[in-house]
Amino acid sequence: MAFLHDLPIADLIANYGYIAIFVIITLESAGVPCPGETVLISSAVYAGSTGNLDIAGVIAAAATAAILGDNLGYWAGRRWGMPLLLRYGHLIALDHGRLKLGQYLFRRHGGKIVFFGRFTAMLRAYAALLAGVNRLDARRFFIFNALGGVTWAASMGLGSYYCGRSIEKVAGPVGLTLLALVIFGGIALWAFVRRHEARLLVKAESAIPGPLA
């Protein structure tokens, strides 16, 4: 238990329990930089070490917060993201055609990004926002978001509960590995798009005809 007292969130967990878990993870999932995974791991270890929290309650609070926060981020991105890009996107080389191409590519691979983004530090706060900006189908988003939130909360929560602090040594490398795969995959996708941009623009226009709203 000593390591918990070295964390600034230790008192929040001890004093506010499930409320602290829910609020912090909701904020992180909505796009506000917060230590959501640290809160989940620490709360699960605290539950296993003291019995003051129930692990089922920890997982339920974390999963609910992850799903709710992601939905807030998704709808914010869907409501305000694209209008801003349509107005100012040209300043960062995102003309109408490229915005439509991004939407087309995200619709094809967005579910994977939403699910696996839950397990990576950099994407956890922004995957839902990007899904909204790129108009990923709401039903598809909800399914992959729910699966990702429940899987993340259950795996990290139970792993921390039974393995204690050692899960942190596993979570870090796993998250970095997934992040590396996402980065290299993104680079490969960027190179592919650059090489085949003209053909993909035609496909995007065919799949999403007319002006973007």
pLDDT value of residue 36: 86
Residue 33 banded pLDDT, cuts 50, 70, 90: confident
pLDDT value of residue 6: 44
Q: Which residue has better confidence, 97 or 63?
A: 63
| Tokens matching residue 67 | 């799903």
Distance CA 63, CA 154 (A): 8
Name which of 19, 18, 22, 113 is nearest 65 in CA terms: 22
Question: Lowest mean pLDDT: which of 99-113, 122-136, 137-151?
Answer: 99-113
Segment 176-190 shows an average pLDDT of 58
Write the pLDDT tens digit of every residue in 165-182: 555 555 556 555 655 665
pTM: 0.69
User: Does the pLDDT of residue 88 top 70, yes or no?
Assistant: no
Do the Cβ atoms of 175 and 164 come closer than 8 Å?
Answer: no
Write the pLDDT tens digit of every residue in 118-140: 887 666 777 888 788 888 889 99
Task: Say which residues have a Cβ less than 8 Å from residue 108's Cβ, sequence separation at least 6.
Answer: none
Ramachandran quadrant class, 83 (left: phi over 0; alpha: psi -120 to 50; beta: rest): alpha
